[in-house]
Amino acid sequence: MVNELCLELLGTSFTITTDADENYLKKVLSQYMAAVNNTQNISGIKEPLNVAILTGFLLCDELNKIKLELEELREAQGVEQIDDDSLTDWEEQEVQDRAVRLINKLDQALHLFGDNKDK
């Protein structure tokens, strides 16, 4: 099932189309909006592009910290992975793929924002 989610963030709006569940999309949007608000509050930055970039960086930082905590927890509990190197490579690839998708979506949003700004 294809779902569309209208995003209105940082002075721009656009629609993404995905096969993800609508409730999941709303949850992700809510989390991102909270992250954006947090970034604005802790940094004082108001420029939309700067807020978006810093928020993306902070979310990636948080993701990597969670990955490290998970690895430490696995080690502490003695949980062995079937193929540790392969799984780590897969996880790294997944993070990179998601980062590229996020950058592409931000680029699309900024392109739309830039087009609207000039009008």
Higher pLDDT, 117 or 80: 80
From residue 21, give the alpha-carbon distance in Å to each of 39, 58, 84: 27, 25, 31
DSSP structural state of residue 59: H
Helix 84-118 with 48-77: angle, nearest 10 deg: 170
Burial (0-12, 13-18, 19+ Cβ within 10 Å), 77: exposed
DSSP structural state of residue 5: E
Higher pLDDT, 116 or 6: 6
At 36 the pLDDT is 92
Measured from the Cβ of residue 91, the count of other Cβ atoms closer than 10 Å reads: 13
- pLDDT range class, residue 84, cuts 50, 70, 90: very low
| C-alpha R_g of the chain | 17
pLDDT in tens, 26-68: 888 889 889 999 999 999 998 999 999 999 999 988 888 888 8
- pLDDT range class, residue 108, cuts 50, 70, 90: low
Higher pLDDT, 97 or 58: 58
At 107 the pLDDT is 56
